[in-house]
Amino acid sequence: MSRNIAYESLKNVNAPFEADYQQVFKDFLESGWYILGTQVNAFEKEFAAYCGTKHCIGVASGLDAIILPLAAFDFPKDSEVLVPSNTYIASILGIINAGYKPVLVEPDIITYNIDPTKIKASITNKTRAILVVHLYGKMCNMTAITNIAKEYNLKIVEDCAQAHGAIHQDKKAGNWSDAGAFSFYPTKNLGCLGDGGAITTNDDALADKLLYLRNYGSKVKYQNDYTGFNSRLDELQAAFLRRKLIRLDEINSHKRTLASLYQQGLSNTYIKPSIQEQNFDVFHIYNIRTPKRDALKQYLLENGIRTEIHYPIAPHQQNGYKHLFGNTAYPLSSEIHQTTLSLPISYCHSVEDIRYVVEKINAF
Ligand SMILES: Cc1ncc(COP(=O)(O)O)c(C=O)c1O
């Protein structure tokens, strides 16, 4: 029997929370307090506890969660920040908007995360930080990366937009570095109903400065101690996020179950995600790679299965960004962008949905 399988249905993903959200909205409206109130405050405490960090500062988006800590470090303006060449464009834009130069480092073709063995060759006397990205929900090799950062006195910011609840060794995403940057864009494992983001940190001074930066450089009304931003996590979104956070582990566990069906069921003609003993992956995205990617995507569509590509164009080939990277080739990044395909995997997909996708892919 043929089925219709969406890549993602945000309506269905949020359906289990509908009654909760209606109540949350009613309480919010009645509270009469709509910016930086008790909901943001409580969510920050709860999310910090979830990540195991001392602090969490809610901001307006995942992009801002990258910009604000980098801006807070106040590096000289020609500073360089290392970033993986196959990341989503927001990681790169975050560095640019903070006033620095992004320097691309190729990923490890097995994990799709920044390759620690290639980092040292990209360090110059202008390098001040590494922006690691835990892509698709798998954490980077933070053990190796934190050692390099210590040796060269570099800051680390983790882009955790795709890795809420992911673990490397004994610590969660957002607790391995100077600052963790989270997005709560609706499709994320912890997604709200609009834009939202947060920064986690164990650094008291940085946390304090971020409280100023997100609010026009002010902690006391009409007193501005820094040139800041307007980047506050919305009170209503924080209230929704508090409800969803309670079920984040269940969401991650559901996605891990679906991922294991793909891992076991899909033919080995496809390159499947690698699994490392020291990592707990949360599969924001489940990707496979094949040279026949475009034909497979079309065939799945004809069989009622929608897929996505994360991402179709590499950052160094994007019209708005290629001037930054000259003629340097990033062959691994290009290879990933040409061959990767993201399969349906979300809180609203069932085991039967995934079995159907597996069956169709194996018959291709
Ligand atoms: C890796 C990565 N970094 C940053 C972001 C930016 O998050 P936002 O869309 O909330 O600004 C995203 C979200 O799409 C992302 O996937």
What are the sequence ranges of the domains in the chain?
Answer: 12-105+114-245, 247-363
Q: 302-334: per-residue pLDDT in tens?
A: 999 999 999 999 999 999 999 999 999 999 999
pLDDT classification of 159: cutoffs 50, 70, 90: very high
Reply yes or no on whether the pLDDT at 266 is more than 70: yes
For residue 262, pLDDT over 80 is answered with yes
State the distance from the centre of ligand 1 to the C-alpha of 303, rounded, in angstroms.
30
Distance in Å, CA 137 to ligand 1 centroid? 12
pLDDT digits (tens, 9 = 90+) for 197-243: 999 999 999 999 999 999 999 999 999 999 999 999 999 999 999 99
Cα of 333 vs centre of ligand 1, distance in Å, is 18
Percentage with pLDDT > 90 across the chain: 99
Residues 85-111 have pLDDT tens digits of 999 999 999 999 999 999 999 999 999
CATH code reported for the domain at 247-363: 3.90.1150.10
Residue 135 Cα to ligand 1 midpoint, Å, equals 11
Mean pLDDT of the chain: 97
Q: In the structure encoding, which two tokens stand for residue 116, read together?
A: 């620690």
Distance from Cα 63 to the centre of ligand 1, integer Å: 6
Residue 198: per-residue pLDDT: 99
Over residues 337-342, the mean pLDDT reads: 98
Do residues 186 and 10 touch, judged by C-beta distance below 8 A? yes
Vertex 267: Cα angle to 265 and 270 (nearest 5):
120
With the most atoms of ligand 1 within 8 angstroms of its CB, the residue from 85, 86, 185, 193 to mutate is 185
Provide mean pLDDT across the span 282-296: 98
- Which amino acid type is present at position 180? G
| Second CATH level (architecture) for the domain 12-105+114-245 | 3-Layer(aba) Sandwich (3.40)
Q: In the predicted model, what is the mean pLDDT of residues 166-192?
A: 98
Q: Does the pLDDT at position 2 exceed 90? A: no
> Ligand 1: which atom is nearest the Cα of residue 66?
4
pLDDT digits (tens, 9 = 90+) for 343-352: 999 999 999 9
Q: How many residues does the chain have?
A: 364
Give the position, in ligand 1's atom list, of the atom nearest the Cα of 187.
14
pLDDT band at 3 (very low <50, low <70, confident <90, very high): confident
pLDDT at 1: 64
Which string of DSSP letters, residue by residue, matches 59-108? Answer: ES-HHHHHHHHHHHHT--TT-EEEEETTS-HHHHHHHHHTT-EEEEEPBP
pLDDT tens across 292-305, in order? 999 999 999 999 99
Report residue 276's pLDDT band, with 50, 70 and 90 as the boundaries.
Answer: very high
- Report the distance separating Cα 175 and Cα 164, nearest Å: 11
Pocket of ligand 1 (CB under 6 A): 61-63, 87-88, 90-91, 133, 159, 161-162, 183, 185, 195, 197
| CA distance linking residue 27 with residue 253, whole number of Å | 30
Beta strands 279-280; 167-168: pairing state:
antiparallel
pLDDT of residue 25: 98
DSSP state string for 201-227: ES-HHHHHHHHHHTBTT-SBTTB-SS-
Q: Burial code of 250-275, b = ≥16 C-beta within 10 A, e = fewer?
A: ebbebbbebbebbeeebeeebbbbee
